[in-house]
Structure formats: structure tokens, C-alpha cells
């Protein structure tokens, strides 16, 4: 990438297999917050694939505010995650929470996710810069755009140009929504940087009934991809049960998002 | 209005002449930040009409952070404002900044606007409750949704059910955009209250290049109307010169917004 | 006042009877949130006088978030407020919420208070500039220092130099305290402007157990005065019952504040 | 520690050599932002000791927003840091930015510091829980008190009860100060938890002229310790040059803080 902060050169296109991010197409990334078991992950993957997603999300390692909460299946899940991916034929983005996880996790993910709490974890970013996998870098809870772009620089300086920025809501005084999804910043990033931009309306609202309208809004603002939490039975989810969608709700989003994308002359990435 | 905070009854529809707000149609409100002169207002009104707007905005009284700034033409503009409205055949929303302006302003406006700085001006709200004109109530810079709904209650308790809520961006730590346009709250209001919701992407971003994408996003989030600042020659504007659009830019928005609205099965209000 | 924003000339001293604000002495302002009745006001005034206050606070007009809440006794209280003041021999600061109240309220107050919700009410500020009484200007919930200083300019341009700035807590993401008392801004104002600065630890914390430590902190930060809500029986208060102190709690504050002031070479204003 | 979140049992006292935190005495921690060289660290340590500090601060590893900025001397400084500490006879708190640094850093520090950017780095916190050194846990830029207490839980659950909470300013809309020092939260923590509380007025204001008043304010709010950045020649500092104090400025703080502490019946920790 010549320079991700200069405008006027179009977006830096990130390729993952036959998927592209930043070339005009819209990608739907979906899956569970946490991968809970082989059966749970397979059921979810098949469900979101049937509903229109072309890329999987799912956490093996989880960052949880309280040490009492479920922290992810960890390495015990590696083998079945690889099998499920192969069975459904979809790429996977999953969170890395410690530099020491990178080498093993690289065997099962197609894209590394850096969560909000780790946006300032520069050692982690630096070491991801030494990998050859794209990095989806979530914005810190209250990171300014300048800090976010400089965090991306840690990856790029490490030698890896393939950074996607993911807006997931910022912390404000308002509490009706879990976070305030900052789509104005999404539009700013599309106008002023070369990064592909992903929007997470699940964390960005924290309320199931708002995920559809905010997915449509994100497409309007110019997002290159949406990343959405889906669970076969949301009320049973081990994490983020409050904001997970079921298959039917996600399918409605996939359908309506497609209409808006087409109206704006954009295609939705398919498998 | 039975109760604006109960959901499940559909939106309370506000009528202004043949326009409706809250019945599914999308209204484009456009015009200058401040009305500067007869010629300026006429030129702007004709320009936004030709470009696709069906409702005028324009300030006669202006609230300005500094006492040194232009404070609006005031009553000197009343007669020509009335003439221009008649000539172009469009209704007008304009800001009221003091209860003592209500009776005179009522002669020239079709809808009163209460600005962000006056959202907590309960005496003003109470007295607007005694009028028979709809009230477009902007959210305070950092008002919670609960405070905003209670401010609306001051108007409603005064006897006037026709309140529209206008999201115009909240104050956060981020400074790339002038404000953070809180579309998640727009979606929340549409899901949980009966108020028609207006979005102001001009103040909500403060940057011309972001107004198009955020207008599209607002429609995706469910807005009933957009209110946009337009000036024949933005760089010469006496207020908000930094965020005003020219006619060509506004026309592009009107066109693209129409595409998204249609994709979602909605019509755009026409004259 | 030569110019309130220039530093290096010392603070502009505001005089109210034999009280001074900004000349190094510390003033304790105390009284009820709302004046509820003649008896209530007299009992409170005598209580805070005995405990060490030298200036009274007390609302006749109240700004309340909900139209259902108690809105103050209004003009019905004017005559007994004047009597109580005379009986206890203390000056009074009270809130003005509408320009049309100014002329009558001027008969009973020694200082006008402009509340947070009215900091942007420029018409009110302008008309207070035409009076000869000092104005205690509270900072808006989320007003920047620049906006606050420009609001003060509206009063000063109107011809009244006697403006005191009152920090009362700003709105942030934190909810353990009602507001975030911004004492760093108090220190900044003392270093960079000529305004006397008042701190309101009652609204600034919203929690009785925090008012003592934050009063001491405010003195450390350089406040010229403290304004504190006291009620004979806090749990019976008609407004802000949650944060009012009883006489004993206030007396403890007056005592400890005096120790800190003396340690820093400052006197506490007495009657 | 029985439970750090229960009140009513007094503060959990943390001991470091003959120093105590949380037993009523006030500790002054001072030193450079970054340790730059043997000579620089020795000169600074001797300077702050002479001025009244009894505990050293100084970064070996630095978290910097931009990858271009100075990142600390790293392990190259270990041997001379140990020598300087011995020579001046003062304990040291220094930041750990990666779990893999813990074992080596433990040889030269008496207390680990976890910086704001790492407050959510749960793996780091967990591994610090396995050490026998106290942990000074800075609040994240925009961490709620609940999140902060849960982050402390990660250390405690790991087996290490000796956690000190350090308030260093939160992110708000205000930009006159670098951060908004949240002393209301300091008072809340002292009233409702058992943790010793440290205040960092250097980062909390980012402006040299505000560090004295905010140090006094912090003592008023109940802080158990202050941590202050000092540099022999602030304008030459390799990091945080804008907010470092020189020896003379720090000595004035040490003197005035002592007066306020004594007025409130507290002693200042000495060597």
C-alpha cells in the first residue's frame, strides 16, 4: 500500500481467496460471537451460509470484562474449526488476544481480528505485521480516528499492508444503545483513507431490533463489509446473547442489504 | 397522540398541507442555514425545488455561539419570506429562539424548529404547546434520549401533539466530524416511539463530502425526513459556510436518496 | 473588566455587599435546591448560617427535565423570600429561567444564577447584561470551555462585567457519579481567565458521601466559592433529594474546608 | 484481601518495603516519563528525592500512539536502573506492556504499572496476578468504574491482592486539558472500595501549570498517592515533554501538598 492515509488513489483492495474487500463489492460476514462446540459452529455456519453470508466470524479466544465469564474454547477447538470451515467452504475471521496465539491461530483463520480492547496493544499489532494474513482492526471503545490510523500503522510498518478498519460503536453518554455506532467516521474513512471499512452493527447497537436498520445505514455510509453475530438459538448463547440474531432475522438483513447495495450499483459478494 | 413513547401503534402522522411525516414517505427539507436577503432566499428556494426538495428550511433568528457572529435578519425578513414561500409554493420550517417570537413567527412558518441549544428551554416548549403548528425538536448536543422525550412532553402537555424529533449529531471525543450523527438512536426512536424522525446530516457531520453518504445512511436507519443546508454559493454563506452544499451537490443527494428509498419500498414526498 | 480572557491581571473581583469573589477569600454558598415554603426557607437559612455559610442559594423557579416534576414556588414566594433574607442577614443567589422574570426577580436576589440548561440561552444572557447584578453562569452539561466563555461574553457585551463561572459537572460515559466534576477546568480557568470560579459539588457528584471530599478538592483546585445544597431533612426535599446534605454534614464540610483554605493561606468569607 | 469491592472494612494496605499505601499516609511518586539514559535517570532520581518524593517512577518500555515515536530503552536499561535505585535508595514503579516482560522486569521494579492502554489486556493482568509484586492499575481512557474493578479482579483472581487503582484522566469532549481528571471517581473509590487510590495529575491535565492545583485537589479528594512526571530539563524530554515538571516546580508541589495533608491530619511518606 503506497500510503493508507492518502486519498485519491482508491481503496487498497484486500484479497482473501476469491473474496475482495475494497473493490466495490459488499461482503456479509456472519457467525457466532463465541464458537461453543463443533455442533454449534457447524449449525451456525450452515445457517448463515444458507441465509446469504459468504464469510464466517467466530471467536475461539474471548476477551471478557469479568474473569468469571466464559473465555472461549481456546486451542481445544482448533481441529473442529478447521473441519467446519472446509465442510461449508467459507473463510474465517477470528480474534487474536495475545501475540503468543498468532502462530497456531494462523493455521485456522483467513483473517485475524483485533478486538476493541486490543487496539492499543502495539506489541500484538507489530507481530501481526509480520504475518501474511489480513488484519481486521476494530476501533477502540473511545479511540479517535487518529489513534486508530496510527494503530493500523503498527501493522503496516511490520510489513503487512492488508488492514481493514472495523467500526463497532464508540462510548458516549447515551445508554439506550450499547454503543454509538459512528457511521460518520465510516464515511470519513471512505473519503479520506484507502482502508476497506467493515461495520459491526451487532456490537454497535447491542439490540437485535436495531441491527437491520443499522446494517442498511452502514451500506448507505459506504461500508465494504458487515460483520454480524448470529446464533441458532440466541437466548442460549454463551456470550453476547442479548445481541445475537437468529437465522431468520439474519436472512432478512441479507435480503434488504442486497436491495440497497443494488440500488447504489454495488454487488454483494457470494461464495 | 395517545402516548408517544408506547410502541406498536405505528408512527403518529404529522400533516403540513399535503405533506405527511411518519406515514412511510420520505421528505427532503432543504434551504439556507440563515436567510440572508430576499434575493438569496428566493434563489435558494428555487434551486432546492428544482433539485428535488419539497419543504424549505431557513433561519430568520440564529443562535450563535459568539455574540460577534451574524444573528439572523430577524423581523425585517418577515414580509419577503412570506412572498418567497408563496412564489415557490413550498412550506417552511424556521427556528424560534424566544417565546416572545412565537406569535409573529407563526405568520410565516409552517413548522417551528427548536434548536439544540433550546432543547432544555422548557418555557419555550410549553408555549409552543399552545400553538397549532408542528414542532421540529432538535436533540440537545448531549441530551440523552430520555431527556429528549421528556422535552417533547413539554410540548405535548401544552396541547400540541405534532412533534417531530430531529437528530443532528451529538458531542463526543471525536473531532474529525463536527458532531457524531447518532443513527442508532434514530433506529431506536423508530422502533420504540411514535414520533416521526428527521435527520440533519449537515450539522451531523459538518463536512460537505460526508453529507451524501450520511443522507443515504439516514434513510437506511429509517428517517422520515432529511433536513439539509444548501446555499447558491456556499463559500459566501453568512453562517455554516463550511457545511453548506451547492445545488449540484444537493441534487445528487436527492437522486441517490430516491434510489435507496425506492429499494426499500418507500416514496419520496413531492410538491 | 479589561478582558476576562486575558491572563496576568489577576481575577476580576465581584462585590456583593461586603462579600468579594475573586480576591482570594473563599465563600460558602448554601441553601435548598428549591425554596419550598416560608418555614422551610427560614429553617434552612438559619441552619446553614449557623453551620458557616455566608451566602444563600435557593430556587424560586426550577428547570425540571419532566413537566410532571415540581417547578418551583414562583412569584408566590417573593415576599417571604425577601423577609427571610432580611431576618438572617444573608445575600441570595437564585436561578432565572426566562428573560421575562428578570425585573421582578431583581427585587429579591443579589446575584442571578443561569442554570446549565440555559447556558446557551443567549437572549436571557443578553438581557442579564443590562442588569446591575452579578451573574453566576453555570456551565452547560457538555459545554466546552470556549462555548462557556463566549456565553459569558453575551452578558459582558450587554454591559455587565460581573460574571462568575460555576463548574457543576459535565456529562461523560461514567455513571457512578451523576456528573463528572471537571476540576481540571477550574484550575485552567483560574490560570487563564479573570473570572471568579464557583464549584457546585452537589450537582457535580449527585451523591452525599462525595460532597465533602469534592469540596476539599475544589478548594485545592482554586475555587473562589462553593455552592452546596442543604435541606433540614434531605429525604423530604421536593427536588434533588438524593444529593442534599443535612446541617450536620454541611457543618463538617465548612469546618474541613476552612482547614484546607487556611493551610493554603486563604480566608473564608464570614458574615 | 477479603473483597476489594466491599466497603466498611477500611482500605486494603499495600506494603512496599517500609512504604505503605492505604493506611492514611500520602506518598509522592515522581520521576521521568521515560528513562532515557543512566545519567538522565540518576539526575532525575536525585532531584525528585531532594524535592520530597519517596518513590520513583520511570518507563523502560513505552506504549506510544505512533510507531515512529521513542519506544523506551528496553532491556538495555535494566542494569543501570538497578544501580540508580540502589544509589538513591528509592523503590521504583515501571510499566509492563507485555506478559513476556514480567519475569525480567520483576528484577528491577518494586511495583508493576499497567498503563491505560493495557487496562483491558486481561492476559497481562492474569499473569501479573501470579507475581508477588503490587500492581498499579491505571484506568483506561474511557473505562467505566465497573470495568476497572473487574480488570482488578483479573489480578486478584490470579492470586495477587496488592492492586492500587490509578486515576489518570478520562476522555471527554473537552480539549483545554489533555484529559479530564475524574476526582469524583477517586472520592467514590475511597468511599466504596478497599483499594488504595493513586492520582496522576501529569497525564490528567497534560499542562504543567495545572499540576500543582490538581495535586492539591487530589489530596482533598482522598488520594493515597500522587504520581508525577519530572524531568531535569522538560523541553528535552523524549516523551511527554509538554507535561513534565522541572525540579523546582515539583518541589513547590511537594511543599504545598504537605500543607494540605497536614491540615487534614495526614502524614506524607518519607524515605
Model pLDDT for residues A17-43, shown as the tens digit of each residue: 999 999 999 999 999 999 999 999 999
pLDDT at A4 (0 to 100): 44
Cα(A114)–Cα(A121) distance, integer angstroms: 9
Does residue C201 sit in helix, strand or coil? Answer: helix
Smallest Cβ distance to C217: which of D169, D174, D220? D220
Q: So what's the pLDDT on residue C205?
A: 97
Q: How far is C105 from chain B (nearest CA, A)?
A: 16
At B69 the pLDDT is 86
Q: Provide the sign of the torsion angle of the four alpha carbons B204, C189, C30, C244, taken in this order.
A: positive
The shortest CB-CB distance from D263 to any of C207, C222, C260 is to C260
Percent residues over pLDDT 70 in chain B? 97
pLDDT at B70: 86
Q: At what angle do helices B78-88 and B38-51 cross, to 10 degrees?
A: 30
Task: Kindly report the nearest CA distance between residue D169 and chain B, in angstroms.
Answer: 13
The Cα A69–Cα A136 span in angstroms is 24
**Which of D170, D173, D179 would best serve as a mutation to test chain B binding (most B beta carbons within 10 A)?**
D173
Residue D18 makes CB contacts below 8 A (sequence gap 6+) with none
Distance separating alpha carbons of residues C248 and C255, to the nearest angstrom: 11
pLDDT in the model for residue A14: 97
Q: Are A37 and A227 in contact (CB under 8 A)?
A: no
Q: For residue B4, what pLDDT is reported?
A: 44
Residue among A83, A24, A22 nearest A56 (CA) = A83
Q: Checking DSSP bridges between strand C197-199 and strand D27-31, what pairing results, if any? A: unpaired
**Cβ(A121)–Cβ(D119) below 8 Å:** no
Q: What percent of chain A has pLDDT over 70?
A: 97
DSSP states of B171-226: --S--SSSSB--HHHHHHHHHH----EEE-HHHHH--HHHHHHHHHHHHHHT-SEE
The whole-angstrom distance between C250's CA and the closest CA on chain B is: 30
Alpha-carbon torsion (A36, A38, A39, A44), positive or negative = positive
Select from A142, A171, A173 the Cβ nearest to the Cβ of C171.
A173
Asked if B204's CB is within 8 angstroms of A213's CB, the reply is no
Q: Average pLDDT, stretch D226-240?
A: 94
Q: Using 50, 70 and 90 to split pLDDT, how confident is the model at A3?
A: very low
Check: CB of residue B135 under 8 Å from CB of residue B163: yes
Asked if D217 lies within 8 A of C220 by C-beta distance, the reply is: yes
pLDDT tens profile B245-258:
999 999 999 999 99
Nearest Cα of chain C lies from the Cα of D39 at a distance, in angstroms, of 34
Task: Find which of C116, C172, C173 to mutate to test the A interface (most A CBs within 10 Å of its CB).
Answer: C173
Residue A8 has pLDDT above 50, yes or no: no
Q: Cβ of D120 and A63 within 8 Å?
A: yes
**C135 strand-pairing partners:** C112, C163
Task: Count contacts between B and C (CB, < 8 Å).
Answer: 56
- Are A212 and A196 contacting, i.e. CB atoms less than 8 angstroms apart? no
Q: Residue D74: exposed, middle, or buried by beta-carbon count in 10 A (0-12, 13-18, 19+)?
A: exposed
Residues of B in Cβ contact (< 8 Å) with C147 = 65
Phi/psi at D138 (5° precision) = -75, 145
Chain A residue with the nearest C-alpha to that of D62: A122
To the nearest whole Å, the CA of C207 is away from the closest chain B CA by 20
Do the chains contact at D180 and C180, CB–CB below 8 Å?
A: yes
**Residues of A at the C interface, defined by Cβ within 8 angstroms:** 142, 171-173, 175
Nearest chain C residue to A142 by CA: give it. C173
Segment A227-250, tens digit of pLDDT: 999 999 999 998 888 899 999 999
Q: Average of pLDDT values for A181-198?
A: 98
Question: Which residue's entry shows cell 476540576?
Answer: C183
User: What pLDDT does residue D62 have?
Assistant: 86
- Give the one of A121, A141, A150 whose C-beta lies nearest to D121's C-beta: A121
- List, for chain C, all residue ranges whose pLDDT scores fall below the cut of 70: 1-9
Cross-chain residue pair D142–B173, CB shorter than 8 Å:
yes
Is residue B10 pLDDT above 80, yes or no? Answer: no
Over residues B25-44, the mean pLDDT reads: 97
User: Chain C partners of A173 at a C-beta cutoff of 8 Å?
Assistant: 142, 171-173
Residue D179 with chain A: CB contacts under 8 Å: none
Q: Which chain A residues touch B172 with a CB distance below 8 Å?
A: 170, 172, 180, 182
Question: Closest to C191 (Cβ–Cβ): which among D142, D188, D210?
Answer: D210
| Region for residue C167 given its phi and psi (left: phi exceeds 0; alpha: psi -120 to 50; beta: otherwise) | beta
Asked if B32 and B237 touch (Cβ cutoff 8 Å), the reply is: yes
pLDDT score of A2 more than 50: no
- Whether residue D2 is predicted with pLDDT greater than 70 in this model: the reply is no
Determine the distance in angstroms separating the CA of D172 from the nearest CA of chain C, rounded to an integer.
6
* Chain B residue closest in CA terms to A256: B264
Question: What is the number of other CB atoms lying within 10 angstroms of the CB of residue A23?
Answer: 16
Name chain B contacts of C98, Cβ cutoff 8 Å.
99, 123
Nearest chain A residue to C175 by CA: give it: A173
**pLDDT tens digits for D114-140?**
999 999 999 999 999 999 999 999 999
In a mutational test of the B interface, the residue from C123, C125, C138 whose CB has the highest number of chain B CBs within 10 Å is: C123
Q: Looking at beta carbons, which residues of chain C come within 8 Å of A179?
A: none
The residue-averaged pLDDT of A52-77 equals: 91
Instruction: Give SS3 for D20.
Output: strand
pLDDT for the residue A6: 37
**Residue B138 to residue B127: CA distance in whole angstroms:** 16
Q: How far is residue B259's CA from residue B265's CA, in Å, rounded to a whole number?
A: 10
Q: How do residues D27-85 score in pLDDT, each as one tens digit?
A: 999 999 999 999 999 999 999 999 999 999 999 998 888 888 888 999 999 999 999 99
Torsions phi, psi of B270, nearest 5? Answer: -120, 170
Nearest CA-CA distance, residue A65 and chain C, Å: 16
Hey, how many other C-beta atoms are within 10 angstroms of the C-beta on B86?
A: 9
Q: Give the per-residue pLDDT at D172.
A: 96
pLDDT of res. D130: 97
User: What is the per-residue pLDDT for C62?
Assistant: 86
The SS3 of residue D156 is: helix
Q: How confident is the model at residue D233 (pLDDT cuts 50, 70, 90)?
A: very high
Residues of chain C with C-beta less than 8 angstroms from the C-beta of D142: 173
Separation CA A250–CA A231 (nearest Å)? 10
- Residue D172: list chain B partners with CB under 8 A: 173
What pLDDT score was predicted for residue D57?
98
Cell matching residue A185: 467516521
The pLDDT of residue D186 is 98
Q: Which three cell numbers stand for residue C42?
A: 427560614
**DSSP of chain A:** ---TT--SS-PPPEEETTEEESSS-BEEEEE-SB---HHHHHHHHHHHHHHT--EEE-BSS---SSTTS----GGGGHHHHHHHHHHHT--EEEE--SGGGHHHHTTT-SEEEE-GGGTT-HHHHHHHTTSSS-EEEEPPTT--HHHHHHHHHHHHHTT---EEEEE--B--S--SSSSB--HHHHHHHHHH----EEE-HHHHH--HHHHHHHHHHHHHHT-SEEEEEB-SSGGG-SS-TTT-B-HHHHHHHHHHHHHHHHHTT-PBP--
Nearest to B32 by CA among B22, B24, B42: B42
The yes-or-no verdict on residue A125 having pLDDT over 90 is yes
Q: State whether residue D41 is helix, strand or coil.
A: helix
Please name each of the domains of chain B with its CATH number: 28-61+71-263 (3.20.20.70)
B191: nearest CB among A144, A180, A210:
A210
Q: Which residue of B has its CA nearest to A217?
A: B217
CB C128 within 8 A of CB C135: yes
* pLDDT one-digit tens code per residue, D167-221: 999 999 999 999 999 999 999 999 999 999 999 999 999 999 999 999 999 999 9
Share of chain B above pLDDT 90, in %: 89
Kindly determine whether residue B142 and residue D173, on different chains, have CB atoms separated by under 8 Å. Answer: yes
**Facing B121 at nearest CB: one of C67, C121, C142:** C121
pLDDT in the model for residue D7:
39
Chain C residues within 8 A of D179 when measuring between CB atoms: 184
C-alpha cell at B63: 443562535
Which of A67, A123, A142 is closest, CB to CB, to D141?
A142
Pairs across C and D, CB distance < 8 A: 143
Q: Is the pLDDT of residue A59 over 90?
A: yes
What span, in angstroms and rounded, lies between the C-alpha atoms of D246 and B251? Answer: 59
Look at B213 and A222 and tell me if their CB atoms are within 8 Å.
yes
pLDDT band at D1 (very low <50, low <70, confident <90, very high): very low
> At CB < 8 Å, which residues of chain A contact D?
63-67, 97-100, 117-118, 120-123, 126, 140-142, 146-147, 150-151, 153-154, 157, 171
Chain D positions in Cβ-Cβ contact with residue C176 (cut-off 8 Å): 144-146, 185, 188
CB-nearest partner of B184 from A180, A191, A216: A180
Please report residues of A whose CB lies closer than 8 A to that of D150: 65-67
Candidates C142, C171, C173; nearest CB to A171 = C173
Please tell me the distance in Å from B176's CA to the nearest CA on chain C. Answer: 17
Q: CA–CA separation, D83 vs C256, rounded Å?
A: 44
| C chain contacts of residue A171, beta-carbon cutoff 8 Å | 173
Residue C217 has its nearest CB partner, among D146, D170, D217, at D217
Smallest Cβ–Cβ distance between B66 and the set C63, C140, C153 belongs to C153
CB C176, CB D188: distance < 8 Å: yes
Q: Give this prediction's pTM.
A: 0.95
Using an 8 Å CB-CB cutoff, list chain B residues near D175.
175
Strand partners, B33: none
Amino acid at each position: 500500500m503506497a500510503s493508507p492515509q492518502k486519498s485519491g488513489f482508491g481503496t487498497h483492495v484486500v484479497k482473501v481467496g476469491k473474496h475482495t474487500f475494497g473493490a466495490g463489492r459488499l461482503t456479509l460476514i456472519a457467525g457466532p460471537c463465541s464458537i461453543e462446540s463443533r455442533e454449534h459452529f457447524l449449525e451456525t455456519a450452515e445457517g448463515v451460509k444458507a441465509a446469504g453470508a459468504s464469510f464466517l466470524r467466530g471467536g475461539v479466544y474471548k476477551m471478557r470484562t469479568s474473569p468469571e465469564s466464559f473465555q472461549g474454547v481456546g486451542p481445544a477447538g482448533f481441529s473442529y474449526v478447521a473441519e467446519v470451515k472446509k465442510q461449508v467452504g467459507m473463510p474465517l475471521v477470528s480474534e487474536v488476544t495475545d501475540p503468543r496465539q498468532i502462530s497456531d491461530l494462523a493455521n485456522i483463520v483467513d483473517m485475524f481480528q483485533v478486538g476493541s480492547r486490543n487496539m492499543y496493544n502495539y506489541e500484538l499489532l507489530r507481530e501481526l505485521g509480520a504475518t501474511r494474513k489480513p488484519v481486521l482492526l476494530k476501533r477502540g471503545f473511545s479511540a479517535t480516528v487518529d489513534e486508530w490510523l496510527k494503530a493500523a500503522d503498527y501493522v503496516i510498518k511490520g510489513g503487512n499492508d492488508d488492514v481493514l478498519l472495523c467500526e463497532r460503536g464508540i462510548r458516549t453518554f447515551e445508554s439506550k444503545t450499547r454503543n454509538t455506532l459512528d457511521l460518520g467516521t465510516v464515511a470519513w474513512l471512505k473519503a479520506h483513507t484507502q482502508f476497506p471499512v467493515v461495520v459491526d452493527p451487532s456490537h454497535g447497537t447491542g439490540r437485535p431490533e436495531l441491527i437491520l436498520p443499522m446494517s442498511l445505514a452502514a451500506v448507505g455510509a459506504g461500508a465494504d463489509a458487515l460483520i454480524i453475530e448470529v446464533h441458532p438459538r440466541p437466548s442460549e448463547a454463551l456470550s453476547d446473547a442479548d445481541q445475537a440474531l437468529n437465522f431468520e432475522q439474519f436472512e432478512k438483513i441479507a435480503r434488504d442489504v442486497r436491495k440497497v447495495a443494488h440500488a447504489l450499483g454495488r454487488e454483494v459478494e457470494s461464495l
